[in-house]
Amino acid sequence: MALNTETAFAESPPNQFRADAERLSHIVLEMQRCFVLHLCKELAPGNVSFPQFFLLAYLDQKEVLTMSAIAKKMGHTTAAASGLVARLENLGMVVRSIARDDRRKVMVCITPKGSALVRRIRQEMVGNLMKIMEYLSPEEQRAWLQLYSKIYDYCQSKDCRSFSSAKR
């Protein structure tokens, strides 16, 4: 069953709209499975879990984060985020410190070892994406990037957890 790319979703009849969304759901799950299986093989030697890696990747973009900011970003309680950070700290991937202005605040930053892991995994991902992009024409490559950018912008403007409570 091919995805109907000729007709915009908004112009599709409701049944076709749902069928296209179901097809996209299948495609997204299969793509995630493919990428996650590869990521799992890359992370296993360092004993880093997916949530730990996602936190490292986020920390790698920031100078320092509070424990409450980490909990919010990860969708965890502060206690759960603290456990996540503790495991990364034991692996030498992050360090914790107390904020100078407020000793109640715990600050977390990534170490060079954590940054190196993120950099290595991202390079692997870029290489894999380049292999996929070789399969596409230059126009399809640009269209893929444009669509993913638009979807990314939408997701960044929304709280990801709001998807589960969206009206159906």
**Averaged pLDDT score across all residues of the chain:** 84
Coil, strand or helix at 3: coil
Parent domain of 96: 47-151
- What integer pLDDT is reported at residue 168 of this predicted model? 40
| 77 within a domain of the structure (yes/no) | yes
Query: Cα separation of 147 and 150, whole Å?
Result: 5
- What integer pLDDT is reported at residue 160 of this predicted model? 60
Total domains in the chain come to: 2
36 with 51, same domain: the answer is no
Query: Cα separation of 64 and 110, whole Å?
Result: 8
The contacts of residue 50 (CB under 8 Å, 6+ apart) are 36, 39, 40, 43
pTM: 0.74
| 160 within a domain of the structure (yes/no) | no
- The torsion defined by the Cα of 123, 129, 130 and 132, in degrees rounded to 10, comes to 160
30 with 66, same domain: the answer is no
Q: How many Cβ atoms sit within 10 Å of the Cβ of residue 52?
A: 22
How far is CA 16 from each of CA 10, 22, 56, 162, 164, rounded to the nearest angstrom? 10, 10, 40, 24, 22
Residues of the chain whose pLDDT is less than 50? 1-2, 4-7, 165-168
